Every structure is written in C-alpha cells, then in structure tokens.
Amino acid sequence: MTQEIWSKVDEYLIDALIPSDPALEAALVASDEAGMPPIAVAPNQGKLLHLLARMIGARSILEIGTLGGYSTIWLARALPSDGRLVTLEFYPKFADVARKNLDAAGVGELVDIRLGEALDLLPGVEGPIDLTFIDADRVNNPAYFEAALRLTRPGGVIVVDNVVRSGAVADASSTADEIVGLRRMHELIAAEPRVDATALQTVGKKGYDGLTVILVTS
C-alpha cells in the first residue's frame, strides 16, 4: 500500500459521496494563497465531523486550532441558526484568513474566533459544549483533553485529530514532545471514569495518521 493508492481511494470516496462545494474549495485556495500549511482535514474527514455534530444534535461546538477555517465551516454548518461555535487560534494571520473564509461560506455569524494561546483562552470558554474538536499542537493535548472534559456535557463528544503520526505514537521510547503528549493524553483518557473512547488509524490524502473519539458519559 502506498500514498498514491491512499490518495486515489480518498479521491474516489470524496467524488462518490461529497458533492463539490465552492465555499469549502475556496477556503482551501485562500489558505494556500496565504502561505498557510496544507494541513486542513480532508473533505471526507470534514464531513465526518459534520455528521458527528448532527448525530448528537450539537448546538455548541468548541474547536481548538482554526487554521484557515476549513474544518470550522464543516462544523458550523451542522449547527442550528441559534447555535454557536468558539474556535481558538494562535496566529493572527490564520485567524484573518479564517474569518474571511467563514464569512464567504455564510457561517461567520455563528463563529467566535478567539486569538491567543489555547491554554490561556480555554478558561474563558463557557460550557456546556456539545462537541469539541482538538486539532492543534500535540504537545499540549493532555491539557486540551482535560479542558475539553471540563467543558463538554455528558453525552457530548470530543474528537482529537492527528493521534498516530505515521505510527510514531506506538514508540514507547520516543522522546519527541508531540509523541510524549499524545501518549500521555491516551493515558489520561484510559484512566478517566467519565469517558468512553476509541482511536482509529487512518490513511488517505493526508497520509498515515488517526483520530481519537471520546464520549463523555458522566
């Protein structure tokens, strides 16, 4: 199995199940033109987030890591007209691009972009949150998980992206900060009686990685 095959299958699945969307495609183009890293979720991953939000009837969403707003658009479109989405972004340039993309997609009024260090901003986020999407630096994922657990209601869902890192997460001897952070996060999840969780490896246009899905039970 190769990256070429993973990408080809992703392209087939996206073409088969996800109609072309000018606003989403424009958001990716704008992000690329702004020189942002091409690390937004793939369309089928964005659709998964959208469906998860709809499945639980989400009215409030928290996103840690806005980038250019691509995943934010997917999530915001799952909200009712009186819903709210708070998204946290460290880089002012990224936040500016995201705001333009969100407004162009017609969901800007639903989204509150907050600028700064996520760990500094999280204490000011009001719960309860129905769905939290963590897609930021892996080093701080243990703290992000703990904050998300504090904010997310029972019956709510926490999704963490980029948890496999081409298989590096399985290396217990790794001293890389992001791998240490990912492993510590999973240890916290496993020891937490208020959640139930699983994690999946993924391959596709974004290479080899994975995600962790957590149900807040009490």
Average pLDDT, the chain: 97
pLDDT at 90: 97
- 70 vs 66: CA distance, rounded Å: 8
Number of domains composing the chain? 1
- What CATH number did the domain enclosing 64 receive? 3.40.50.150
Structural domain that includes position 206: 3-216
- The whole-model pTM stands at 0.96
**Three-state DSSP class for residue 43:** helix
- Neighbour-count burial for 68-82, b at 16+ CB within 10 Å, e otherwise: bbbbbbbbbbbbeee
Which residue, 90, 142, 148, is CA-closest to 123?
148
pLDDT at 22: 97
pLDDT at 1: 72
Tens digit of each residue's pLDDT (9 = 90 or more) over 31-46: 999 999 999 999 999 9
Tens digit of each residue's pLDDT (9 = 90 or more) over 127-183: 999 999 999 999 999 999 999 999 999 999 999 999 999 999 999 999 999 999 999
